[in-house]
Amino acid sequence: MITSNRNPFKIFFQYLVLASFLVLGSGSQQTSESKPDDALDKRVKELLSKMTLEEKIGQLNQLSNPYQQTGTGVMTAREEKFDEMVANGEIGSFLNVLGVDETMRLQKIAVEKSRLGIPLIFGYDVIHGYKTMFPVPLAEAASFDRALMQKSARIAAIESAANGLHWTFAPMVDISRDPRWGRIMEGAGEDVYLGQEAAIARVHGFQGDKLSDANSIAACAKHFAAYGAAIGGRDYNSADMSERMLREVYLPPFKAAVDAGVATFMSSFNTVNGIPASGNRWLQTDILRGEWGFDGFVVSDWNSLGEMIYHGNVESNYDIGYRGVDAGIDMDMEGRIYVQHVKQLLDDKKIIISQIDEMVSRILLIKFRLGLFDNPFQYCDKQKEKELTMHPDHLIASRDVAKKSIVLLKNENKTLPVSKKVKSIAVIGPLANDKDAPLGNWRGSSTPNSAVSLLEGIREAAGNKIEVLYAEGCKLVLNTEQNFFTQLQYNTTDRSGFAEAIATAKKADVVIMALGETAYMSGECRSYADISLKGLQPELLREIKKTGKPVILTLFNGRPMVITDVVEHADAILNCWLLGSQSGNAIADVLFGDYNPSGKLPASFPYHVGQIPVYYEQMNSGRPYDPNPSGFSSKYRDIPNAPLFAFGFGLSYTSFSYSKLALSSAKISLNESLTIKATITNTGDYSGEEVVQLYIRDVAGNGVSRPLLQLKGFEKIMIEKGESKEVSFKIQPKDLAFYRLDKKFAPEAGKFEVFVGTSSDNLALKGSFELVD
Ligand code: BGC
């Protein structure tokens, strides 16, 4: 979560930043030499041998800039003497301290005044951009474009590093199958494979070629683990699931992040099968370090150590200290637990010094890998900060990512694209001229109200040839200001703008409506039981539709929404998410056909909230779905089983046909791979990109039931109008692995079905093969 940029404390903080710049001037930028890890290990050991216990405990302590809290805040923290604490080596890391001036000021104290000169590591939630905002991560996952995801993370890293930061608390790689959970917006959605691919792309993007490069920042895979499975979709709630579900669905994106070289992990707030994740040795040590070989450090989530008291697994903060150390939580974010209790725990022999040494070593190793010891000020360059923040190239990239994240959900009578020959367009709705919603809830240090609104984007694209009319129609929320702390008040009664909106629609050739969610309706602590369009929005849409004009709905959202009752009132629907700084321009690109939409849903859109959790990777039941109403089959009596829009669904202005499925062999052994080819033809009127999706079904899991479908590959390809292209996928036996009856995560011989197609519910091609011992 993040405080509003209008927060008075932040304004004061910005003043401090400016003041310290005037005093200190700018730093210098040098690249740091890379050192092989054994040399770094030696340096860690040498340094550790010189440290007092107090200095060691200081490294475990991470505090927030008291003027910009991102968690349950203790403003009393302002009473603490941070500068003095840094000089005494009592703080190892800050979060929420931003900008070259302030990071340099504090770093100077750490390096020049503390006894051993150990540099600080500055962390921040750079979730989808630092100042140039990209689409929220869920939206970006809809691009199904690995290179694009990597690029946006790279740019976010460049801007962050230029602003003095070393570390982002991203990517969030939590799988979520519950759109009531507001944080579904921060991840890659419901699917394991897409989640893994997004994790890899984002870790590489943030960390660049080398962690010690001046424009690389350490990434953090969070929240470990199962946070996205909060019961009932209520944020911070417990997660309870089988070990199979955990290992097959919720853990793989974390493992992928480790394999991609992620520097840090963050533990989660929730309990996992009754044990708080932040006190869970099995997760944080046995699996993460033991099974996966992770050698970076683990930071707790914001006071997630302290919150164990409420989980009721411990009696005191002293016990929490023990649990945290035992679990393998190296750095305590804002909990002040280690600072207060580690010494006593050592004196009481509850823990031993080698445990603390290991924790400190892991933190120091990442500081060494970042090059902070070689050049603690390499991130402190005023010139770079000025040049790189909101660089024009970054805005161009943001628009590119944004347009590729949009998903076309409906396009009846080819309503879209809008012809540039129309005379007038009416832009209507509470979000039509909203310059803030597209920035999302985790908005880095972006300027409030700085996104290009839909109205602005359409006006820009329309130029002076098309008349663009505008009416708000109704307000969505009544609050004059929204930020992390506001309780939103929805407008359910004020229809005073309806008449003007209807009159405006009547004057135009086509109507574009902007409905959905504002920035603060998704994100942390933004769970909703009702995820349909709020307030008077559906009514406004119905009224506008009655004018008989073609209606295009642009939907703004940080989560899949329930729009079942709304669909029939729009001729076309574009799912526009929260697209960041260039939102309006990107949507205009798609509306007018300058870009042919190519996004696919990374999470199912429920038909009804009662279907949740709703996802395509279902197991079959012993009584599979049968449309016959008298049958005893697994179904709802009042609604369909299927979601309204399935995972992987997304239309294009053109059409594609699938043919010629070819498997390299009917049988492969455990050390062979299989090549699967298919031909895709663009049969429509526009050139366009298609996300070709490969799914498999393990027909019988040797004692274990297997899902009906699992995504195992995707390729996004551009196909010109009238052209055909062949797409090739490679499947290796390890891609078929599952948590077997013998508790091994490994493949097993047997029959497999293969499907290739355009979405999880539309798979035109089917084949099969056998894996043999
Ligand atoms: C969130 C984390 C975030 C941290 C620091 C917590 O409330 O759960 O995702 O990184 O705050 O801002």
Q: DSSP letter string over 475-539?
A: -SB--SS--TTPPP-B-SS--TTHHHHHHHHHHSSEEEEEEE--GGGSSTT---S--S--TTHHH
Which residues carry out catalysis?
A: 301
Task: Taking residues 413-437, report their average pLDDT.
Answer: 98
Q: How far apart are CA 722 and CA 720, in angstroms?
A: 6
Q: Check whether 376 has a pLDDT greater than 80.
A: yes
71: confidence class by pLDDT, cuts 50, 70, 90: low
629: confidence class by pLDDT, cuts 50, 70, 90: confident
Which ligand 1 atom sits nearest the alpha carbon of residue 70? 12
Task: Taking residues 643-665, report their average pLDDT.
Answer: 98
Residue-wise pLDDT tens digits, 724-770: 999 999 999 999 999 999 999 999 999 999 999 999 999 999 999 99
**What pLDDT score does 69 carry?**
55
Rounded to the nearest angstrom, the gap between the alpha carbon of residue 580 and the centroid of all alpha carbons in its chain is: 13
Q: Check whether 325 has a pLDDT greater than 90.
A: yes
Q: Check whether 31 has a pLDDT greater than 90.
A: no
34: confidence class by pLDDT, cuts 50, 70, 90: very low
Q: Where are the alpha helices (DSSP H) in 164-217?
A: 192-207
Q: What is the pTM of this model?
A: 0.94
Residue-wise pLDDT tens digits, 484-537: 788 999 999 999 999 999 999 999 999 999 999 999 999 999 999 999 999 999
Q: Are 696 and 752 spatial neighbours (Cβ–Cβ below 8 Å)?
A: yes
> 168 vs 70, which has greater pLDDT?
168
Amino acid (1-letter code) at residue 17: V
Q: How far apart are CA 402 and CA 425, in angstroms?
A: 22
* SS3 labels along 672-739: CCEEEEEEEEECCCCCEEEEEEEEEEECCECCECCECCEEEEEEEEEECCCCEEEEEEEECHHHHCEE
68: confidence class by pLDDT, cuts 50, 70, 90: low
Q: Are 85 and 93 spatial neighbours (Cβ–Cβ below 8 Å)?
A: no
Q: How far, in Å, from the CA of 683 to the mean position of ligand 1?
A: 47
Percentage with pLDDT > 70 across the chain: 94
To test the ligand 1 pocket, which listed residue (302, 331, 484, 526) has its Cβ within 8 A of the most ligand atoms? 302
Q: Check whether 561 has a pLDDT greater than 60.
A: yes
32: confidence class by pLDDT, cuts 50, 70, 90: very low
Q: How far, in Å, from the CA of 559 to the mean position of ligand 1?
A: 19
Q: How far, in Å, from the CA of 381 to the mean position of ligand 1?
A: 27
Give exposure, 758-772, as e/b (b: 16+ Cβ within 10 Å).
bbbbebebeeebebe
Q: Are 646 and 759 spatial neighbours (Cβ–Cβ below 8 Å)?
A: yes
Q: Report the pocket of ligand 1 as residue ranges, CB < 6 Å.
A: 1, 70-71, 95, 125, 169, 222, 301-302, 524
**What pLDDT score does 10 carry?**
35
To test the ligand 1 pocket, which listed residue (124, 125, 445) has its Cβ within 8 A of the most ligand atoms? 125
Q: How far apart are CA 522 and CA 530, in angstroms?
A: 12
Residue nearest to atom 2 of ligand 1 (CA): 301
- The pair of structure tokens assigned to 106 is 């504090």
Q: Check whether 4 has a pLDDT greater than 80.
A: no
Q: How far, in Å, from the CA of 447 to the mean position of ligand 1?
A: 20
Running DSSP on this structure, what letter comes out for residue 742? T
Which ligand 1 atom sits nearest the alpha carbon of residue 71? 7
Q: How far apart are CA 133 and CA 130, in angstroms?
A: 7
* Sequence-ordered strand ranges (E) for 90-152: 93-95, 121-124
Q: DSSP string spanning 355-397?
A: HHHHHHHHHHHHHHHTTTTT-TTTT--HHHHHHHTT-HHHHHH
**What pLDDT score does 486 carry?**
85
Residue-wise pLDDT tens digits, 194-223: 999 999 999 999 999 999 999 999 999 999
